[in-house]
Amino acid sequence: MACGSCGTTENGVPKGCKSNGNCGSGTCGSGSNKLAVFDWLSNMTLPSGQERFNIFEVRFKNGRKHFFKNPDNLPITMGDIVAVEGSPGHDIGTVSLAGELVKVQMKKRKITEDHEDVKKIYRKASQRDIDIWQQARAKEEETQRKGREILGRLGLQMKLSDVEYQGDGNKATFYYTAEARVDFRQLIRDLASAFSIRVEMKQVGARQEAARLGGVGSCGRELCCSTWLTDFRKVTTSAARYQQLSLNPLKLAGQCGKLKCCLNFELDTYLDALKTFPKQDVVLKTEKGDAIFVKMDIFKNHLWYTYKEERFKWFRLTLDQVLEIIDLNKNNEKSASLEEYESDVEIPVKVDFEDAVGQDSLTRFDVPKTSKRRRNNRNKNKKKPVAATTNNAQQKSVARKKPQAKRPNKAQVNGKPQQQNKAQAPQQNKQKPKPRPKPAANAKPNKKPNTNAKANENSSKDQVKKPNKSRRPNNRSRNNNTPKNGNDSEK
């Protein structure tokens, strides 16, 4: 329960605790003030002739609480720092609860007033007691670090999770976790000689260790075991099966390495809801064949079945339809096929998120962008084989020559009638080899082809060996036309 001043203002800021919504500074049940109780009976007066309950609840480090008597009837209220009886010596703690509510807490823990664990309150803590207590608390981190070094030197299979000093600084309690039984007699001797204190070893479980250390769970809140949970019940995988959860240990395990305690919180609600559902081993008998259970949706009352022989398709049925089929099977009657039942199921339309603000997609960076850069033609020509380059050159030469056949002849250019073309047409058809088209008037004269076959073979070999040096003959011809060093070629 939270404190009485946890109300909020108009702006949503807490009024009394001044912790800006964290509720970790006072009695709001987080941090070291675990399970702090609001005394809602403090303003009520006791009946006449009845004495006030003289046992107080005192809180120590990490939410550890014990009950203490007040034999001297000291004026103690909630929040006072008191010196109580230790074993041996005295300890310093804070009064967390007083009055009639202490009876409720003692009844819950099954502790009577005459129990041996109920010790005495010596006095209210003086300033000297508080100074010694704070000095002892300041040495806990260094003691824990050195204690782990000693553990590593001895090679013991145990983990030192926390150290708590007594209020007078004469005793320290070492909390550890271990999977098996450990012989730590030599460890106690080494710790006592290293720190010159009385040593007490106390084994805790994995859940208690997580409760003492604290943390934030996957839900975004503080751990339940470190804020309000005290009794750690056994959690099994059947709790996850009843809630239709996937048995993934990474998601079902908490920071302690065990199954999350919150799996038991809603288990009773799921068990009540599953009473109306049929058992999963029930086989539905239809005209098309037997159908077996696949999965279910408890919130929508939908179940999925599939045929034994044809398991590639699942059929969605409602809870009422499944119960109807089961009733027919009890009367030795087969129901219609699952396809007919599925056609009658009305699936509600899912309302998607409306992008009214114009937000970008969250997965816009998942798909890599394709590069649209164009490669240079030179790089393409280098990668192509030599034979392909020669074929492409021949195809280009043929492609260049074909449109020349459609060019007008000299007679057409000079303005002569087209009858000459008609007269020439039959003569061209008689000739089997196609004559080369005459160049246009403005066209440049082509070079003479190489008639020598050997020269052609040599030129082809040169092209195969050195495909990139096809332009050299032109350069040489140009160089031959120009005089060298300013002198004529004849000289």
pLDDT digits (tens, 9 = 90+) for 224-252: 888 888 778 889 999 998 998 888 988 99
* Whether residues 321 and 288 fall in one domain: yes
pLDDT given for residue 48 in this prediction: 78
* Whether residues 251 and 191 fall in one domain: no
* Whether residues 205 and 173 fall in one domain: yes
- Look at 331 and 439; give whichever has higher pLDDT: 331
* Whether residues 165 and 181 fall in one domain: yes
Which residue in 177, 264, 261, 254 sits closest to 216, CA to CA? Answer: 254
- How many CA atoms lie less than 13 Å away from 370 in the CB half-sphere? 2
Q: Which of 343, 367, 386 finishes a domain?
A: 343
Q: Tell me the backbone φ, ψ of residue 378, rounded to 5 degrees.
A: -65, -40
Section 470-490 average pLDDT: 48
Model confidence at 431: pLDDT above 60: no
DSSP 8-state assignment for residue 2: -
Which residue in 215, 87, 197 sits closest to 161, CA to CA? Answer: 215
Q: What is the distance between the alpha carbons of residues 291 and 308, in angstroms, rounded to a whole number?
A: 6
Q: What is the distance between the alpha carbons of residues 50 and 48, in angstroms, rounded to a whole number?
A: 6
pLDDT digits (tens, 9 = 90+) for 78-98: 889 999 998 888 999 999 888
Residue 380 included in any domain: no
Residue 251 included in any domain: yes
Give the lowest-confidence range in 9-23, 37-51, 233-247, 262-276.
Answer: 9-23
* Whether residues 295 and 253 fall in one domain: no
DSSP 8-state assignment for residue 175: E
pTM for this entry: 0.56
Q: What is the distance between the alpha carbons of residues 459 and 218, in angstroms, rounded to a whole number?
A: 78
* Whether residues 307 and 319 fall in one domain: yes
Q: Which helix (H) or strand (E) holds 154?
A: helix 140-154
For the chain, how many structural domains are there in total? 4
Q: What is the distance between the alpha carbons of residues 105 and 68, in angstroms, rounded to a whole number?
A: 13
Residue 263 included in any domain: yes
Give the lowest-confidence range in 122-126, 329-333, 447-451.
Answer: 447-451
pLDDT given for residue 411 in this prediction: 44
- How many CA atoms lie less than 13 Å away from 120 in the CB half-sphere? 8
* Whether residues 312 and 324 fall in one domain: yes
- Look at 216 and 370; give whichever has higher pLDDT: 216
* Whether residues 120 and 79 fall in one domain: yes
pLDDT given for residue 20 in this prediction: 42
pLDDT given for residue 53 in this prediction: 87
pLDDT digits (tens, 9 = 90+) for 443-459: 444 444 444 444 444 54
Section 455-477 average pLDDT: 48
Q: In terms of residue numbers, what domain contains 184?
A: 137-212
- Look at 413 and 71; give whichever has higher pLDDT: 71
